Each structure stands twice: as structure tokens, then as C-alpha cells.
Amino acid sequence: MRNQSNVRRILVVDGQGGGIGSQLVKQLRSCLPEHCELIGVGTNVLATNAMLKAGASHGATGENAIVFNAARADVILGPIGIVVANGILGEVSPKMATAISGADAKKILIPSSTCGIYVAGTEECRLEEYLRRAVQVLQQVVAE
């Protein structure tokens, strides 16, 4: 069920050690309006803990947590592998990928060649630049 209150649920999803997710959370924490709730959901406990340590308001781990929270999110951010079955070296189950890609939420995805996915039309940037751009896009989305 989508969020019925004025609170905007921002879901950051990551796997492995949570490096991308924790960097996103750290950057978002300082610039999100107060009406935004920042939730870190990891495919594993390391990723979730990294996002919580970076400043996520709440955290959860695993397939059910991703499926449940994706359905409730207003915006979902993470590496592009979160929308691909068996992405992030197999950490993203087909059920997770379906839940994220099929969610009504707007998605802001970080290109990552480590997922084996290349997006034609994107310029090659350092990860820091992709993260900065993702934060800018989210700021525009939550201002709508």
C-alpha cells in the first residue's frame, strides 16, 4: 500500500557491503526535507548495517523486506543491478527485482558496470559523480 500521509518514503536498496547505498544515504541525509523518511534495505545484513551507520532512519534486510518496502516507497534508489534478476552477483532474487521494477515508486538507478549492465547513452563517470547526480534528481522529485 502506497504512503497515504505527507511523509515521502525514500528507499535505498543495496547489496554486497552496502558501499553505494551508504554513500547515497550519507549524501541524502544532509539535504532531504524533514517530510522524507530515509529507509535502507539491504540484500544482506552488511549492506543494511552500512546504510544505518550512514544515517538511514530505518533498516531492514532480505527478500521480504525489499518486497514489502518497495510496495510502500515513493522513490527507490540504488545500483542498476537491483532491477535485474540475479543482479549484484546473484544477491537480487527474481522476486526482489520484480518488486522493485514493478513498484509504483519513481526509481533513480546508479549505473554500475560491476553489475555487468551497460546503459547506452550514459557518459562514463566516476561513482561519486553518479551519486551526486542521483541526489540532485531525488531533490527535484521530492520538490514536486
* Neighbouring C-beta atoms of residue 105, cutoff 10 Å: 22
Domain assignment present for 2 = no
Is the residue at 1 inside a domain? Answer: no
- Asked if residue 3 is part of any domain, the answer here is no
Place of cell 518497495: 70
Domain count, the chain: 1
Q: What is the pLDDT of residues 25-45, one digit of tens each?
A: 999 998 988 889 999 999 999
Are 36 and 10 contacting, i.e. CB atoms less than 8 angstroms apart? yes
Q: What's 46's domain CATH number? A: 3.40.50.1220
pLDDT tops 70 at residue 141: yes
Q: Residue 32: CB partners within 8 Å, gap ≥ 6?
A: 10, 38, 138, 139, 142
Say which amino acid occupies 94: P
- Residue 23 structural domain: 8-139
* Range from 45-54, 107-116, 119-128 that averages highest in pLDDT: 45-54
The sign one gets for the Cα dihedral 98, 23, 125, 31 is positive
Among the residue ranges 36-40, 61-65, 117-121, 124-128, the one predicted with the least confidence is 117-121
Q: Is the separation of the CB atoms in 129 and 101 below 8 Å?
A: no
Residue 83 belongs to a domain = yes
Q: At what angle do helices 45-54 and 19-29 cross, to 10 degrees?
A: 20
pLDDT band at 5, cuts 50/70/90?
A: low
3-state DSSP assignment of residue 87: helix
Tens of pLDDT, residue by residue over 64-116, are 999 999 999 999 999 999 999 999 999 999 999 999 999 999 999 998 877 67
Residue 102 CB contacts under 8 Å (≥ 6 apart), including other chains: none
**pTM, 2 dp:** 0.91
